[in-house]
């Protein structure tokens, strides 16, 4: 079984925040793959379903970002899951908007949700880092990530979420490269091959036979 966790803050006022892109990723997977309706459990909301051969639990902690580990620990303990079974989607300011990277273990890069999860279950879980861009100065980070995506960002955001949904089965199966390929195809679909121009009608070759030859050939 896999536990896929989307990080964010609960409540309508946070719903479109950059910090809530993890929630958006979880919602996209649930919707695209016919998961059960969301219901309250493990100090959060869960939805159950399958991705290929894998049974999957989606979790959106309702503890607010800084205490995300409380919810993740509760779900992991109930299902007896190891950190290697857990995949967490979260915003990443050190990546350009729409860029995606995957890593297992390592530091938190200042992300409070990742820090909280690591404190509860250890660092060896998989992180899907979803780029939202950087405001340019560290003093602007908090209002930036707690601000809504701009209308001009909605195009790449929709493509990214569609790509995450497309690649979710590969991700659950441990195929990180396959997942990233699906995301890349949504964000930059291959250009269609140019169609060949129609062949021009070839004019008939001139008939250089004499009249006598034409008559002879006609009655052969």
C-alpha span between 100 and 129 (Å, rounded):
6
Answer whether 9's CB lies under 8 Å from 17's CB: yes
Q: What is the dihedral of CA 45, 42, 172, 112, to 10 degrees?
A: 90
C-alpha span between 66 and 14 (Å, rounded):
14
Which one is catalytic: 19, 33, 90, 111?
19
Has 90 been annotated as catalytic? no
C-alpha span between 104 and 85 (Å, rounded):
11
Give strand ranges (E) for 74-136. Answer: 86-92, 100-104, 126-131
Answer whether 186's CB lies under 8 Å from 163's CB: yes
DSSP H or E segment with residue 60: strand 54-61
C-alpha span between 39 and 19 (Å, rounded):
22
Residues recognised as catalytic: 19
């Amino acid at each position: 079984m896999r536990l896929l966790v989307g990080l964010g803050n609960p409540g309508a006022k946070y719903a479109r925040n950059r910090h809530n892109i993890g929630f958006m990723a979880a919602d996209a997977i649930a919707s695209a793959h016919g998961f059960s309706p969301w219901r309250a459990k493990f100090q959060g909301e869960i939805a159950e379903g399958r991705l290929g051969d894998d049974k999957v639990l989606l979790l959106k902690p309702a503890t607010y970002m800084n205490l995300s580990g409380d919810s993740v620990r509760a779900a992991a303990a109930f299902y007896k899951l190891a950190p290697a079974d857990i995949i967490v989607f979260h915003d990443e300011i050190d990546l350009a908007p729409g860029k995606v990277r995957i890593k297992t273990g390592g530091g938190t890069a200042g992300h409070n949700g990742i820090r909280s999860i690591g404190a509860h279950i250890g660092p060896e879980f998989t992180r899907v880092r979803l780029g939202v861009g950087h405001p340019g100065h560290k003093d602007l980070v908090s209002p930036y990530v707690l601000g809504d995506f701009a209308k001009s960002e909605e195009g790449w955001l929709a493509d990214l979420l569609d790509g995450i949904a497309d690649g979710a089965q590969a991700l659950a199966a441990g195929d990180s490269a396959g997942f990233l390929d699906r995301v890349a195809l949504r964000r930059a679909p291959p250009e269609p091959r140019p169609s060949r121009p129609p062949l021009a009608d070839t004019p008939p070759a001139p008939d250089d036979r004499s009249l006598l030859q034409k008559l002879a050939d006609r009655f052969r």
